[in-house]
Amino acid sequence: MPSCEDVVEFRFWSHLTLRLAATFLLLFLFFFSPLYVVSGNGEFTAGIPAKAQLEAEWSIMLTDEVGEIEIRYATPFIEWMDERDTGAYEILDEGGETPTAALNWMRGLLVMCGIGTFASLAHISTWPRYKGPRLFITFWLAGLLLIMLGLPGAIWLDQYDALGAGQLPVEEPVPPREDFLHFTIASGLRLSWAGLAVDFNASGYDRALIDEENRTAAEEEPPGEKHHSYIAFAGTVTAGPTRYFLWWLLLPLVIVDRLFDGA
Amino acid sequence: MRQLVVLFSCLMVLLPLSHVHAEPETIVWWVEYDWTEADAAADSLAGISIRKLVEKIEDAAESTEIELDIQYSLDGKSYIYSQHTDGGTETVRGGNGVHYDTEVRVTDYAIRHATKETATAISNWGDNKASFDVTASASSTQTVIIDLRVSEYVNSDLEIVMIRGESSGDLSIEGAVKADGFIAGKDDRIDFVNARVDYQASTGWSDFQLTWIPDTPLALYGSLGEVQEGESVRLECSYYTNYNNRSLQSCARIEGSYSTSQSYEVTATNIPAGALGLSDYWQKITISDSFTQEENFEANFSESDYYHKAGTGMLNLSGKEREVAFFESDVALPFGLIPFFSLMPLFDSFEGTEESIGNGTQREIEDVQRDYDEDKDRLIPIIEDFQYSTFEREFGRMMERFEEEEINPKLGDYRVRYLFVYDAASSRFLMPTATYAGSEQGEFPELDLGEEIITGSEGHFVPGLKSGYSSDSGQFEIVRLMQTAQDIMGTQEELDEETMISAPSWLMVSLLCGFVAVLRRRG
C-alpha cells in the first residue's frame, strides 16, 4: 500500500508532467508551423494577361522564410511574358537573399517567450494563489504582442529601404515606375480575420509592350485603354498570423485550474 | 480539328461491313505489347538497345575524369482491341432522301497504352576551378485511353447508307525531374537539395459524334468482293475515272460535335531560386491552366482512297476455315491505329501556346546571351569558371571516345506494307496486318507480322508483341475497363514519398503517445 505522502507526490508529479507535456506539445506545434504569413492573390482584369490569376504566399518560419507562387490560367500570362521586350527597362531585382536581421531578433525573442512559459511551470507548486500564473501569463502576453506587432514591425524594418519611408509591410505591390507608364492604384486598408488586408485595383501601360519609337510619346500621353499595352490587375494582400497561432492562444489552458483556483 | 474530321472520315470509309445475310457473330482481334521487352526487341531487330548505349556512354566516361553512372528502365503495356458485333436493324434516311432498311454493324475499339520511363544519373567531376556532384533522376508516365465505336448502316444490296462514329479519349503525360548535389565554381556554389520539377499535361475529348452520309449509298463491299488479285477499287468524290478496274463515287456529308479539354501543370519545388535571379525564399512555383471547348462541325467529304487486292489466304475463325483477301490501302495504318494518329490534331489547340512558349524561350535565351555579352559580371560566374576549367576538354574527350565505340544498327533498307484482311464470305474487313520486308543486303530480318496476327503470336518474331483473334469478348471488356496507368501496366500505385509521415510528425505522434500515457497513469 502506498503511503499518503507517496500519493500526494505522485499526483504532484503527474500534474506537472501533464502541464509540461501539454506546453511542450503546443509550443512544438506552434514553432514548427508558419508563424506569420503575407499573402496576395488577384486577377488580371485587362490586357494580354487578362483572366490569369496569381497567388503568392510568403510564410515566416522559425528558422527561415518560404515563398510559394501559383499562376492559374497561366497561358495568357505566358503569352504576355513572351510579347514583352525585356530590354525596355533595367532589371531592378537582382534576386538573392533578403535582409532578415530584425526578423531574426524577433524570432529569438519569441523563442525566449516560449521557453519562458515552459520554464515558469517548473515552479508551479510554489506559486502563491492568485499571483501564481503571473510569470506564465507575462511570457504568454509578451509572445502575443511579438506575434501581433513585433513580426510585422520586423518585416517593415527589414524591408524599409525597398518599400520607402512611410509604407507599411502590407502596402500594395507597386511595380517599378520604369515598367509601367501612368501607373495608378486605388487601394483600401481594412481589418480582416486574416489580419491586415489591402484591396487594390492597379492599372498602367506596360512599357515593354510599346514600340521603342513610341515610348517617349507614351510617357507623356497615355496611349488609351484600348492599346494592347494597357494592363489592369485587381487583388488583395493580407498579412497576419497563421491559423497555427491558435496553438499559442491555447497555452493558458495548461494552467486554467490555477487561474481560477480559490477565486 | 479539321484534320481529325477528315481522318476520322477516312477511317469510316475503310471500316468493315457485315454481310447482311451473314450469321450474327462476334469477332475480336487484338494486339498487345509489353514495353519491358522493347530493349530486347530493338536489340534483336536492329542490333541496338538503350542498355548498350548507356554502357557505351559509361565506358566513354570511364576513360576521362568524369564519373558517370546511369540507370534506365522502361515499363508499360499497350493494348489495341477491336470487337465486331451485330447491332440489329434500323431504318435510316440516305443522302439521296430515300429511307432504307439497314442492318447495323458495330465495331468497338479500345486502345490503352501506358509506359513509365525512369532514369537516374550520378555524375561528378572537378578541378581547381569548377566542380559538380549531382544525382539527377527523371521519371515520366504516358497514358493513352481511347474508346471508339463505329456503327455502319448497310442496306440489303450491301451498300453503305450511313456511318456513325462516337468517341472519347484521354492522352496524358506526367513525370518529375529531381536533383540533389551541387555545381560549384571558384567562389560560387549552387546547391540542389531535394530540388524537383513535377509536370502534368493532358488532353481529352468526350461526346465526339460524327455522322457520315454518302450522297448515294456506296457499293464498296460488293466491289471489293468482285475484284481479282492485282486489281483495285478506288473511291472518288469529284469525278469518275477508270482507275485500273473499278471506281466508286464517295461524296458524302459529315456532321458532328465534340467537346475537348486540355490542362497542364508544372510545379518547381526547392529550386535554387537565388541562382535564377529570384529571392532565395521562393521554394515553390506552380504554373497551371485548363481549357475546355465545345464545337459542332459540318463538312463535305471529298477525299479519295484506293484498295488494292494484294493476295489471298486462309483464316481459322471459330473452328471454321474461311478464305480471306489482303487489301492494301492509301491509309497505311492498321485500323486500330488510325484513330490514335488521327487524334493528334487535337493538339492544334496547343499550337498557339507551344509556339508562344517556344518563341518566348528563344527570346529569353537571346536576352540572356545579350546580357552576358554586355555585362558578364551580372551573370552567374560559375559558367565562366566552367569555361576556364578543364571540363570542356574532358567532355570533348568523352564524346570522342563515345564516337569511337562501334554502334552500328543493323537497319538496312526495308519496306513496310500495311494490309487489311477482308473476309469475302461476310463482306467485312476483319483486321489489319503489316509486313516488313528486309533489304537484300539484309541484316534486318524479314518479318511477316501479317502472318503473326492471322495465326496469333506469342512474341516469336518481335519480343513482347502478342496478337490474336477470337470470338470471345471477355478480354475486350477487361481492356475497356482499364482507366488508369496502373490498370494498364498492372501495377499498384506507388507510395508517394510525400504521403509518408515526416520526421517531425513522428515526433508529434511520440509526444501524443506520451501525453496519453501520462493521462492513463494519472487515472
Judge: A81–B360 Cβ closer than 8 Å, yes or no.
Answer: yes
Q: What are the counts of helices (DSSP H) followed by strands (DSSP E) for chain A?
A: 8, 6
For residues B388 and B21, the model is more confident at B388
Give chain B's mean pLDDT.
74
Chain A residues with beta carbon closer than 8 angstroms to that of B277: 91, 93-95
Does residue A8 sit at the B interface (CB-CB below 8 Å)?
no
Contacts of A94 in chain B (CB under 8 A): 277, 378
Among the listed ranges A133-147, A230-244, B212-226, which one has the minimum average pLDDT value? Answer: B212-226
State yes or no: pLDDT of A263 exceeds 60.
no
Residue listed under C-alpha cell 514591425: A153
Q: Are B177 and B136 in contact (CB under 8 A)?
A: yes
Which residue in the set B280, B282, B511 is minimally distant from A24, CB to CB?
B511
Question: How would you class B162 by CB atoms within 10 Å of its CB: exposed for 0-12, middle for 13-18, buried for 19 or more?
Answer: buried
For residues B248 and B218, the answer to whether their CB atoms sit within 8 Å is yes
Extract the C-alpha cell encoding A62: 522559425
This prediction has a pTM of 0.73
A50 touches chain B (CB under 8 A): no
Confidence category of residue B237, pLDDT binned at 50, 70, 90: low
Shortest CA gap B493–chain A (Å)? 27
Distance from CA of B384 to the nearest CA of A (A): 19
Give CA–CA dist A86/B366, Å, rounded: 11
Tell which residue, B197, B34, B177, B116, has the closest CA to residue B485.
B116
N residues, chain B: 523
The number of beta carbons lying within 10 Å of the beta carbon of residue B202 is 16
Residue pair B475/B81 in contact by the 8 Å Cβ criterion: yes
Indicate whether B138 pLDDT > 90: yes
* A71 vs B279, B286, B353: nearest CB: B286
Residues found in chain A: 263
Query: Is any Cβ of chain A less than 8 angstroms from the Cβ of B353?
Result: yes
CB contact under 8 A, B507 and A28: yes
Per-residue pLDDT at A134: 79
> How many residue pairs bridge chain A and chain B with CB atoms within 8 Å of each other?
102
Question: Does A32 reach chain B within 8 Å, measured CB to CB?
Answer: yes
Taking the CA of residue A211 as centre, how many other CA atoms within 13 Å lie in the half-sphere pointing to its CB? 4
Query: Strands B246-249 and B232-236: what pairing?
Result: parallel
**A-contacting residues of B 378-407, CB under 8 Å?**
378
If you write DSSP's letter for every residue of B348-394 in order, what string do you get? Answer: HHHHHHHHHHHHHHHHHHHHHHHHHHH-GGGS-HHHHHHHHSSHHHH
- State which amino acid sits at residue B411: L
Asked whether the predicted pLDDT for residue B100 surpasses 90, the reply is yes
- Could you give phi then psi for residue B294, rounded to 5 degrees? -125, 135
Chain B contact probe: residue of A8, A9, A20, A75 with most B CBs at under 10 A: A75
Can you read off the three cell numbers belonging to residue A24? 511542450
Of A197, A248, A180, the closest CA to residue A25 belongs to A248
What pLDDT, on the 0 to 100 scale, is given for residue B411? Answer: 55
Q: B514 to chain A: which residues are within 8 Å by CB?
A: 21
Residue B112 three-state SS: strand
- Nearest-Cα distance to chain B for A210, in Å, is 17
- Reported as type and span, the H/E element at residue A42 is strand A36-46
Helices (H) and strands (E) in chain B, counts: 12, 16
Nearest to B288 among A18, A74, A96 (CB): A74
Distances (CA, A) of B306 to B96, B237, B245, B310, B329: 24, 12, 11, 12, 6
Question: What integer pLDDT is reported at residue B507 of this predicted model?
Answer: 54
Report, as an integer, the average pLDDT of B102-128.
91
| A148 phi and psi angles, rounded to 5 deg | -75, -40
**pLDDT 10s digits, B207-236:** 888 888 888 888 878 888 888 888 888 776
Cell numbers 477525299: residue: B303
**B521 close to A (CB below 8 A):** yes
Strand partners, B210: B165, B256
Taking the C-alpha atoms of residue A40 and residue B14, their distance in angstroms, rounded to an integer, is 57
Question: Under a CB-based contact definition with an 8 Å cutoff, are residues B435 and B446 in contact?
Answer: no
CA distance B227 to B285: 64
Structural domain boundaries enclosing A219:
4-89+97-259
Question: Rounded to 5 degrees, what angle do the CA atoms B389, B393, B399 make?
Answer: 140
Could you say which of A11, A14, A69 has the minimum Cβ distance to residue B282? A69
- Judged by DSSP in three states, B125 sits in strand
Q: Is A90 on the interface with B (CB under 8 A)?
A: no
Q: Does residue B341 surpass a pLDDT of 50?
A: no
pLDDT at B78 (0 to 100): 93
Asked if the model's pLDDT at residue B95 lies above 60, the reply is: yes
Cβ-based neighbours of B343, under 8 Å, separated by 6 or more: B4, B146, B169, B171, B205
- What per-residue confidence (pLDDT) applies to B370? 60
The grid cell for B222 is 460488293
Q: How confident is the model at residue B197 (pLDDT cuts 50, 70, 90)?
A: very high
Pick the more confident residue, B192 or B316. Answer: B192
Rounded Cα gap, residues A156 and A142, in angstroms: 20
pLDDT tens profile B404-423: 776 665 555 556 666 777 87
E strand map for A98-221 = 180-192, 195-206
Q: Give which of B171, B307, B334 is closest to B235, Cα–Cα.
A: B307
Q: What is the pLDDT of residue B465?
A: 79
Q: Which amino acid is at B65?
A: E
Question: Measured on CA atoms in the order B125, B126, B129, B132, is the torsion positive or negative?
Answer: positive
Sign for the CA dihedral angle at B177, B180, B185, B188 comes to positive
C-alpha distance from residue A101 to each of A32, A61, A159, A160, B274 (Å)? 20, 14, 10, 12, 19
The pLDDT of residue A226: 87
Per-residue pLDDT, B249: 60
Annotate B474-492 with DSSP letters as a single string.
Answer: HHHHHHHT--SHHHHHT-P
Distances (CA, A) of B262 to B37, B200, B206, B241: 32, 11, 12, 44
B186: helix, strand or coil: coil
Of A247-256, B16-25, B45-54, the poorest mean pLDDT is in B16-25
Residue B284 to residue A86, Cβ atoms within 8 A: no
**Rounded to 5 degrees, what angle do the CA atoms B249, B342, B307 make?**
35
User: Are B184 and B132 a contacting pair, CB within 8 Å?
Assistant: yes
Q: Do B277 and A58 touch (CB under 8 A)?
A: no
The verdict on A65 touching B (C-beta cutoff 8 Å) is yes
Which tens digit of pLDDT belongs to each residue from B271-296?
A: 887 766 667 788 899 999 998 888 88
A66: chain B residues, CB-CB within 8 Å: 281, 283-284
Residue B439, C-alpha cell as written in the block: 533489304
User: Dihedral (C-alpha) B502, B195, B394, B378: value to the nearest 10 degrees?
Assistant: -140
CB burial string A161-185: b at 16+ within 10 A, e below: eeeeeeeebbbbeeeeeebbbebee
Contact check, Cβ <8 Å, B279/A32: no
Contact: B279, A95; criterion CB under 8 Å: yes
Residue B508 — pLDDT band, cuts 50, 70, 90? low
Query: Do the Cβ atoms of B79 and B488 come closer than 8 Å?
Result: yes
Q: How far is A144 from chain B (nearest CA, A)?
A: 24
Cell of B392: 570542356
Considering chain A, what is the average pLDDT of its residues? 79
Residue A86, pLDDT > 60, answer: yes
Where along chain B do its domains lie? 2-522
pLDDT at position B366 over 80: no
Structure confidence at residue B247 as a pLDDT band (50, 70, 90): low
Task: Determine the 3-state secondary structure of B70 from DSSP.
Answer: strand
Q: Chain A closest CA to B184's CA: distance in Å?
A: 17
pLDDT exceeds 50 at position B473: yes
> What region does B181 belong to: left with phi over 0, alpha with psi -120 to 50, or beta?
left
Number of domains, chain A: 1
Please say if the pLDDT value at position B82 is more than 80. yes
C-alpha A174/C-alpha B69 separation (Å) is 49
For residue range B415-452, what is the model confidence (pLDDT) as tens digits? 666 677 787 777 777 776 666 555 443 333 444 444 54
B383–chain A nearest CA distance, Å: 17
- How large is the C-alpha radius of gyration of chain A? 26
Residue with cell string 490587375: A233
